[in-house]
Chains A and B, each alone.
Chain A
Amino acid sequence: MALLAVEHLRVTYGAVEAVRDVSFELERGEILGIVGESGSGKSTLGYAIAKLLRPPGQIAAGRVWFDGVDLVPLRERDLKAIRWRELAVVMQSGMNALNPVTPIRRQFEDAILTHRPMGAQAMRERVREMLALVNIEERYADHYPHELSGGMKQRVAIALALVLDPKLIIFDEPTTALDVVVQRYIVQNLKALRARYHFAALFISHDLGTVLEIADRVAVMYGGRLVEIQDARALLKRPRHPYTQALLRCFPDPRDERIEVVGIPGTPPDLADLRPGCAFAPRCSRAQDRCWQETPAYRAEADGSGVACHAVQDEEAVHVGH
């Protein structure tokens, strides 16, 4: 059984449908990258799975099976038993999610005492261990967050998410606000931590380059929908959806002899726009008449990949037919 199974999830903010019929599965210990630009619905998806949506945001339909339990109907009281212990979240402003008036150590202790109490000596040892994991010297445990740099705070936030050994961590743009060297550090560190703690993760980011480095599989979102999922290495070599292909071209290999300035013509989609058809059609070089009328269904395949594009599906159907 998959650790997480999202089924036909729809999230609305009033009349705006931010997540539109999204389904995917996440295996235990797997890192799934979720990539998209502004208005893709990627962060809303993360918040919905963690049941952290704020009104008027709400789950309009669908299920979120986490370890066999559907989180959608659960109340706050029942969620409390799951959050942090089983499912933790690290946000873009994770560094600002730290309590500014509480020393670092207390924040770890509060989490431990609330969710999985242990003795003072064990707790001390645990805090030391967690800080060491993200390469922070123990003396900083008794500092306040403002005494740390942004990169150190984000690492503390990651250690804090890990402290109760959760099965799933949702990272929402965890590296976006950080310097590039610190980003590299977090990516490298996260891989090492996963190897040791075997947590599964959703790694949500606009940065396809980073996601391709860290994730096992990558899900690409556009206009609130999933347009493609593939194994990270396969996606790097053979992106299938025209949007994925175009987005990948925006991330040049820094070692290339020549680097061209490449973008995608047009404007990112407006989620308030509820017209039928493929949201990428206005920017797509392969758009046909049909793409403006009929929303392509996401077709999942047995190996955990899938694509939602008329042109790709037609083309591949022809190949299979021969």
Chain B
Amino acid sequence: MSDTRALVEVDGVTKTYRTRRNGRWQLVRAVRGVSFRIPSQHIVALVGESGSGKSTMAKLVTAVERPDHGHIVFDGRPIEEWRRNLREYRRHVQMVFQDPYAALNPLNTVRYAISRPLVNYRRLSQGALEAEIRRILETVHLTPVDEFLEKLPFELSGGQLQRVVTARALASQPRLIVADEPVSMLDVSIRAEILRLLDELRSREGVSILYITHDLISARMLADDIVVLYRGTVVEEGAASTVAKAPRHPYTQLLLRSIPNPWAPPEETAVDLSRIDRVSDEGGCVFRARCPQAMERCAEAVPRLTAVGGQQRVACWLYDRAEAGENAPEGGQPSALRPGN
């Protein structure tokens, strides 16, 4: 995370949904004051489980949803400004979805799927269009190209479909690709080829990638930086190798310990089963109800992201040594701390 201007800067973003549950209206605080940045040509992984707010973050960054509070800046311009020309924004920010079977129209050929963004965003036609379709299919390794051009989605495997979806995302020459669980529906043996492809796109096409996943290991394989979300809050962030190998936040540690690991002796992977269904009340640390190391202080105030060495930052009272009140002036806090959000 360099000091130069990042391609994407997310600053104190909050998103709350109203849903009806058992006949009562409830507020779901999907994202509570999230900040992170995606430097140019970087891959940043947002890692979290269900309810972490990672997919809401994808919708916010792609301008599908608007934040209630906070700001998202893309290429130096606030997203609200980009909204006046969403078409231009979408040209720069594309998405790869989880389910490649659902992301493509079953009645359209590969050629057609790739040609649409080329016609719509880049106004290509005839010879230039044909040449660009071929170039893009080669970029995603759907070769020999002639074997794939006229294929319909049902004739392709899951891995091949995800390449088509990725090719379509590339067609508008985006600067950012938001990939929401792009390999979780694929067979384990073909996930690697899609992860490698995303890595190639970063180095060869110069795109930045926001990789959204529940899988800490694939995040470690692919990303430069990892941002760990729990219930809408960034609990830990830093270089991918550090966060996924030597996490400091009790939640990230639990996540790492929970990964299937037949190599480790059982006592190394055993987790405390008694707190799993607990949900923290409002105020205080979002993880405290499940945290084996929770202290009184954790219920009193929200811990801030604190540097614990290198780029690694953790939001946990175990590391936040500042006295409550002393270094925590109103307004100097991330917006998660502001009342009324």
Contacts and interface: CB of A to CB of B under 8 A. Distances in A.
Contact of B190 (A179, A182, A183, A264): A264
Interface in B233-278: 244-245, 254-264, 269-271, 273-274, 276-277
Interface stretch (B12-20, B24-32, B87-95, B213-221): B213-221
A172 B242 CA distance: 35
B263 A255 contact: yes
A209 interface: yes
A151 interface: yes
Most buried by B among A210, A251, A260: A251
Interface string A245-277: 011001111110001111111011000000000
Contacts of B262: 209, 212-213, 232, 236
B45 to A, nearest CB: 14
B116 interface: no
Interface stretch (B143-151, B155-163, B167-175): B155-163
Contacts of B159: 267
- Size bracket of the B interface: 35 or more
B271 A180 contact: no
Given A180-B49, A184-B257, A253-B263, A247 B188 contact: yes
Given A207-B260, A209-B261, A185 B192 contact: no
A103 to B, nearest CB: 14
B261 A255 contact: yes
Contact of A189 (B22, B189, B195, B273): B273
A82 interface: no
Nearest to B156: A267
A128 to B, nearest CB: 17
Contacts of A37: 187-189
Given A152-B277, A251-B188, A268-B190, A261 B196 contact: yes
A135 interface: yes
B276 A151 contact: yes
Interface residues of A, number: 45
A64 interface: no
Contacts, number: 119
Contact of A180 (B188, B258, B270, B273): B258
Contacts of B255: 180-181
A285 interface: no
B222 interface: yes
A38 interface: yes
B50 interface: yes
Contacts of B69: none
Nearest to A148: B277
Contact of B260 (A179, A209, A255, A261): A209
A21 B176 CA distance: 49
A159 interface: no
Contacts of B59: none
Contacts of A262: 192
Interface in B176-208: 187-193, 195-196, 199
B188 A206 contact: yes
A135 B273 contact: yes
A16 to B, nearest CB: 15
Contact of B191 (A250, A259, A260): A250
A252 B196 CA distance: 16
A188 B187 contact: no
A110 interface: no
A252 B217 contact: yes
A254 B271 contact: no
A-B pairs, 8 with minimum CB distance? A263-B192, A209-B260, A212-B262, A184-B258, A264-B189, A179-B49, A37-B187, A210-B260
23 contacts: A37-B189, A150-B50, A151-B277, A179-B50, A180-B255, A180-B259, A182-B276, A183-B258, A184-B260, A184-B271, A185-B271, A206-B187, A207-B188, A210-B260, A212-B260, A236-B262, A259-B217, A261-B192, A261-B199, A262-B192, A263-B188, A264-B189, A265-B193
Given A209-B259, A213-B262, 17 more contacts: A37-B188, A38-B158, A150-B50, A180-B255, A181-B255, A181-B258, A183-B258, A184-B258, A188-B270, A209-B261, A236-B262, A246-B189, A250-B192, A255-B263, A260-B221, A261-B221, A264-B189
